[in-house]
Amino acid sequence: MAESRIGDRGDRGNRRGREDSLGGDSGERSRKVEGVGSVLADALRGMEIDRVRSAAEAGESWLVAVGSEVARHCRPVGVKAGVLHVEVDSSVWCQQLQLRSPEILASLRGVMEEGKAPTELRFRVGYTRPA
């Protein structure tokens, strides 16, 4: 008796059988040919590249917007749904920055492209300054 293997449907060498099961000649599924640019754009959208770019732009603008003294005590770590998340090195600085949020947001709007600035800031203690 011949041994049966998993996936062995007895159609070895029968490419037509495989094509039919994949929808090749049977008309079950039609495939739309798309350009590489379209496929790449869809893939990048899925990877949330816009969110990463937005965070990078905010990070680049941060020093200019808050000044070097403030920037020594905090760093932007990401943007999600228009909210810029910032890590701060102490609870004192965290409170100070929360109180200055409207001023910082106005400064970011002045430095960044129109429509690219965050709409809200969230601060949390957790930043460790470089030595």
CATH number, domain with residue 76: 3.30.300.180
Q: Is residue 65 part of a domain?
A: yes
Q: Is residue 101 part of a domain?
A: yes
User: What domain count does the chain have?
Assistant: 1
Domain span including residue 105: 53-125
pLDDT tens digits, residue range 9-29? 555 555 554 444 445 555 556
What's the pLDDT score for residue 113? 87
- Mean pLDDT of residues grouped by 10 in the chain (131 residues)? 52 49 53 69 65 77 94 90 93 97 96 90 88 65
Q: Is residue 22 part of a domain?
A: no
Q: Is residue 90 part of a domain?
A: yes
Q: Is residue 63 part of a domain?
A: yes
Q: Is residue 7 part of a domain?
A: no
Q: How far apart are CA 129 and CA 29, in angstroms?
A: 57
Q: Is residue 64 part of a domain?
A: yes
Q: Is residue 73 part of a domain?
A: yes
